[in-house]
Structure 1
Amino acid sequence: MAAVAEFRQGLLRMLKARIPFISIKSIERARVLKVLEELAGEIGIPMYVHGLSHGTRDLKTLKTVHDDRSVAGGLDFAVQNIGQRQNLTFVFTEISDIEDDGMLARHLYDCVLQAIERGGSLCVLSNGRGIWPQLQRLGMTLTLDPPGEEEMLTVVRECVEPYRGQIPIEWSEADFRLAATILANMTLVEAENVLATLMAKGSLVKADLQELSRTKDRLFSDISGLEKVRAEADTLTVAGLDGMRHWLGQQRQLLTADLKARKLRPPRGMLLVGVPGCGKSLSAKFVAASWNLPLYRLDLASIHGQYLGQSENRLKEALASADNAAPCVLWIDEIEKGLAGATGGNDGGTSTRMVGQFLFWLQESSAKVFVVATANDVSRLPPELLRRGRFDELFFVDLPSEAERADIIDLYIQRNQLPVPSASMREQLVDMTEGFAGADLESAVREVAVQAVINGDAAVTDGLYAKSFSNVVPLSRTSPEQIEAIRLWGRERAVPASGQPIAVSTDRPVGARRGILI
């Protein structure tokens, strides 16, 4: 993204070079005009700004020089004055309908041609819209993105420091940086409004950082192509998966650390593959809840459109929206379904192009978006997605071990507020659930909870636990070959999320087990 300093420098060169047509892409008109006002004084050139509410005004004095508020009238006034005086610059803040070959676009084109002869310059705030190609070739384009972390850090300090001594301010330097990270990619006005609202209560405490996250979350709750998912920290717990949780603890530190000195990018995320029903999707919610970050779900299957290029454009917009919402967690559930066509499907190459676009973003984006992608059928994953450097780590989520099954059973019993079975029955439940996935264990405990609701807690006995658990037939028994193949793949290619070796009941020789750095 273009920092304001880079934008300012680029615009300064264009004005000095008297580029006849300058297209500025930005959604922050006031921020652009402030830069233009500073540059007008620096290089000593007259500059005027036209708006639909006030006509044409001198940018420095804000005095109205022409009352006609229409764009056509403003253009005629500009050309008239450019023809009489050298090196005039006119800025049009509210101009539209110049994406295609139309009346206004041709009017502007003719004005630019006359500006070329007199050293004049016409600047247009395009607000991200396109420009008629024939018109655009007469000039150049600049983009002013919303403030990044460094610029936002300055904004936070300028908003907060003047009130130090007047109200209690608990924020340390680390808190200021975290606030800048949270507010990054919001507009300047949005950030100033949020900070002013926080300080209006008479203090600024560390807990207000969570309010910053919630405020930004509300602003981006309906962004294009993404679905907001609620992830409450007090209701989400992941039993087992100790290896993955330890690794996540390290990545959390990297997400807020200053990595520029070491030329490192922020953590990109992890790919979770493994046995269905073992907590892969729950892990995405767990990351967002424990890190206190908003969670967005990207459904690649729903992005597919019926027209050529539509799917790729939708994916590009969704990923750009995720960048703007950063820092956040981006959850891509069953990623192999959305990209299945890339491994031999007949979709005209759409999936292949989407894979390329997604991998490019995964590799090049510097936004603090932590991706949690899950997959069940690893055979349908494009090979390039598994290459090192795409995701930070590839975890395999296996069937829970004996100790993990005990923890999961205890977790669901506690969550459903059920009477605890006897110690001997608990051991029996752990033994009889060999091969159960986490979802199978949840289903068994749920049956007990249903009976507790219908008949009361008195009906919850060791016998009811034994009966409910024995009624569940896990996938590892209905499709043992499928599960064994998945586990064998994970044993050779992925890091076990549990931190323990992946068990396989096959005589086929396997390679060395991968591990994570502790």
Structure 2
Amino acid sequence: MLQDFVKEVEYLIRARYSILYIFTSEEERALDVFQGIGASLNKRIVTWTATKGLVLNGEELDHKSTDFRIALTMAEDLAKEPTLFLWFDLHPLLRGSHVNIRTFREFAQKTRTGFPSNSIIIAPSLEIPVELQHEITILDLPLPDLDEVKQIIRSFTDAYVGRPGVVIDQSPEVIEALARAAVGLGRNEIENCLAKALVKNRGISASDVSTILEEKKQIVRKSGVLEYISTESLNLEQIGGLENLKRWLLRRKASYSEEARQFGIQWPKGVMLVGVPGCGKSLCAKSVAAAWQMPLLRLDLGRVFAGIVGSSEANIRSALMMCEAVSPSIVWIDEIEKGLSGVGSGFSDGGVATRIFGTLLTWMQEKKSPVFVFATANKIEQLPAELLRKGRFDEIFFVDLPTPEEREEILKIHLERLKRNPARFDIDRLVEVSGEKYWGEGIRLTGAEIEASLHEGLIDAFAKRSNPEEKDRDIDTEDILLAMQRTVPLAKARREEIEKLRSWAKEFAVRASLASPASPANAVADGVAREEAVGRNIDF
């Protein structure tokens, strides 16, 4: 990834692009990269910061050059020789200052037409004045890939090999394990993690993988946009029903193997689950990550839009870079319609939502790393049409209210989780009371409502133990039934909305559940039509 970045920068510099905007928080690493580029292109490096002014070969040229306009005047003379000017943290000086913007623009025009030099802005925030938009080309400095991370770890540990009281394990297996744990972090962050492990354990070994992972979660969380989700002790078997979706996902898992790549199979793009709230969409995302043994990153689109003007675009770019850096990975965008609610109406945000949506769509279409996008949505009418077209996701599934077979499975899973034997309960009766035979056509309890009924029944049973005659009482079928009957089903409270959603799914989404046995005997029972899952009739 870094090699591709370097090649692209060299092409742009040779093509006389006047200003490159490098979006990164890794200032020192960016300087090292451009020093290498400068040497390759026979151009000297001149840096500028607000504290030191212009610096050449490690020496400050003139302290007056800390003034940006004075620095630009001096830079005009320096630009007559082949030079790469690295401007650090320039964005605050260009924010709202028409004189600074105009002066910098004129300098860029002169270097493009008359001098063999280029300007490189290096900043952790993406803020470009409209006057400079046609002068600037934006590039993202990629986070270190696996090979570069290994080099960083070796360089760091080399300095401590042989020191008294310090044990450093530099075996290939340990370097590999540490590097895989550290992928997705910047160079300074990796070195900080290693330093912490060194101080804590007086050495570095394979046992420090957990330390790096914990630090990594903290670093990711600081972004406020991404969150590492723990998937320990989860698997697809903990999802009640949705067998059609599970089969589809298991097929896609094999697509990440080297054998699949040689066969010509491309990495899966992702899947969208649309459906009724409380029916297991979010649990699916966590369980898939556990089954595929991939890190799960939750992308909060709502937080992407937070902060000052310009930070939203920077937030989404940083988040997507992180997702690719830790690949193969799964990116979970929960209730995606809420994050994209402002798309198409630029009246209140200056078009920020539309630009971010465009960035997300382009990334989903063109990403080159094995990142699987797992999106969930409850209100399909709020989603932009561009997101739903073929090519963004491999498939769109509809998660309907659970069928009788699925409710039976859900009940057994949760009873076992409560360390109760399902055989002690009248499962058939619980399935009946949680379905349309009890509540009426189109109304069934969701998986979340069934789970809540079990916990409510457990509380009721425990409360009854205060009676001396029932001090050994345990939860039974009646406790759960009573809790179910006290429930106000979501399918009843939002009946019209769910009916519209199901009508849409019949034509545009594959059902996540397998079709019920279609024999005439069970088509109608006691005057109630067989409960089925809605969606396109495709079984995997």
Q: TM-score range by the shorter chain?
A: 0.7 to 0.9
1:447 maps to 2:452: no
Q: Which stretches in structure 1 are left out of the alignment for 5+ residues? A: none
Residue type at the aligned position of 1:495: V
SS at match of 2:298: strand
1:58 matched to which residue of 2? 56
1:188 matched to which residue of 2? 187
Aligned pairs (5 A) from 1:154-303: 154-157=148-151, 159-160=153-154, 167=169, 169=171, 171=173, 178-179=180-181, 183-184=183-184, 186-195=185-194, 197=196, 201=201, 202-205=203-206, 212-223=212-223, 226=225, 228=227, 230-234=229-233, 237-252=238-253, 254=255, 266-288=267-289, 291=293, 293-298=295-300
Residue type at the aligned position of 1:460: D
Query: Are the counterparts in 1 of residues 44 and 84 from structure 2 also a CA contact under 8 Å?
Result: yes
Name the count of aligned residue pairs.
493
1:458 maps to 2:472: yes
**1:38-79 CA deviation, whole Å, 9 max, x = no partner?**
3444454554434455554433xx345545462445445444
Change (3 A) 1:88 1:174: closer
Q: What is the CA–CA distance in structure 2 between the aligned matches of 1:438 and 1:258, rounded to whole Å?
A: 38
Aligned pairs (5 A) from 1:498-509: 498-501=513-516, 505=529
Residue type at the aligned position of 1:153: D
Q: What is the CA–CA distance in structure 2 between the aligned matches of 1:69 and 1:160, rounded to whole Å?
A: 39
Q: What is the CA–CA distance in structure 1 between the aligned matches of 2:314 and 2:153, rounded to whole Å?
A: 32
Q: What is the CA–CA distance in structure 2 between the aligned matches of 1:496 and 1:247, rounded to whole Å?
A: 11
2:482 matched to which residue of 1? 467
1:325 maps to 2:327: no
Q: What is the CA–CA distance in structure 2 between the aligned matches of 1:192 and 1:39, rounded to whole Å?
A: 24
Residue type at the aligned position of 2:397: F
Query: Are the counterparts in 2 of residues 451 and 459 from structure 1 also a CA contact under 8 Å?
Result: no
Q: What is the CA–CA distance in structure 2 between the aligned matches of 1:432 and 1:66, rounded to whole Å?
A: 83
CA apart distance, 1:408: 1.9
Residue type at the aligned position of 2:216: K
Aligned pairs (5 A) from 1:31-70: 31-59=29-57, 62-68=58-64, 70=66
Q: What is the CA–CA distance in structure 2 between the aligned matches of 1:278 and 1:256, rounded to whole Å?
A: 31
SS at match of 1:221: helix
1:4 matched to which residue of 2? 2
Identity of aligned residues (%): 25
Instruction: Choose the corresponding residue for 1:405, options 394, 404, 407.
Output: 407
Q: What is the CA–CA distance in structure 2 between the aligned matches of 1:337 and 1:36, rounded to whole Å?
A: 40
Aligned pairs (5 A) from 1:49-198: 49-59=47-57, 62-68=58-64, 70-72=66-68, 73-79=70-76, 86-87=81-82, 90-93=85-88, 95=90, 96-100=92-96, 102-108=98-104, 119=115, 121=117, 123-127=119-123, 128-130=125-127, 141=137, 143-147=139-143, 149=145, 152-157=146-151, 159-160=153-154, 167=169, 169=171, 171=173, 178-179=180-181, 183-184=183-184, 186-195=185-194, 197=196
Q: What is the CA–CA distance in structure 1 between the aligned matches of 2:85 and 2:153, rounded to whole Å?
A: 32
CA apart distance, 1:445: 0.8
Q: What is the CA–CA distance in structure 2 between the aligned matches of 1:407 and 1:303, rounded to whole Å?
A: 38
SS at match of 1:245: helix
SS at match of 1:123: strand
**1:348-402 CA deviation, whole Å, 9 max, x = no partner?**
9989888766544432344554333333455665555443322122223234344
CA apart distance, 1:81: 5.4
Q: What is the CA–CA distance in structure 1 between the aligned matches of 2:494 and 2:455, rounded to whole Å?
A: 23
2:538 matched to which residue of 1? 514
Query: Are the counterparts in 1 of residues 272 and 374 from structure 2 also a CA contact under 8 Å?
Result: yes
1:362 matched to which residue of 2? 364
CA apart distance, 1:325: 3.1
Query: Are the counterparts in 2 of residues 50 and 57 from structure 1 also a CA contact under 8 Å?
Result: yes
Q: Which stretches in structure 2 are left out of the alignment for 5+ residues? A: 162-166, 436-443, 466-470, 524-528
1:497 matched to which residue of 2? 512
Change (3 A) 1:427 1:242: same
2:526 matched to which residue of 1? none
Q: What is the CA–CA distance in structure 1 between the aligned matches of 2:108 and 2:505, rounded to whole Å?
A: 62
Query: Are the counterparts in 1 of residues 84 and 120 from structure 2 also a CA contact under 8 Å?
Result: no
Query: Are the counterparts in 2 of residues 231 and 286 from structure 1 also a CA contact under 8 Å?
Result: no
Q: What is the CA–CA distance in structure 2 between the aligned matches of 1:423 and 1:262, rounded to whole Å?
A: 50
Q: What is the CA–CA distance in structure 1 between the aligned matches of 2:132 and 2:338, rounded to whole Å?
A: 43
**1:66-102 CA deviation, whole Å, 9 max, x = no partner?**
454624454454445567xx44555443545135554
CA apart distance, 1:227: 6.7
RMSD over aligned Cα, in angstroms? 5.0
**1:299-333 CA deviation, whole Å, 9 max, x = no partner?**
56x8889xxxx8xx887555434313314544444
Q: What is the CA–CA distance in structure 2 between the aligned matches of 1:339 and 1:111, rounded to whole Å?
A: 39
SS at match of 1:97: helix
CA apart distance, 1:263: 7.5
SS at match of 1:270: strand
Q: What is the CA–CA distance in structure 1 between the aligned matches of 2:209 and 2:368, rounded to whole Å?
A: 22
TM-score scaled by length of structure 1: 0.72
2:389 matched to which residue of 1? 387
Query: Are the counterparts in 2 of residues 75 and 111 from structure 1 also a CA contact under 8 Å?
Result: yes
Query: Are the counterparts in 1 of residues 510 and 535 from structure 2 also a CA contact under 8 Å?
Result: no
SS at match of 1:156: helix
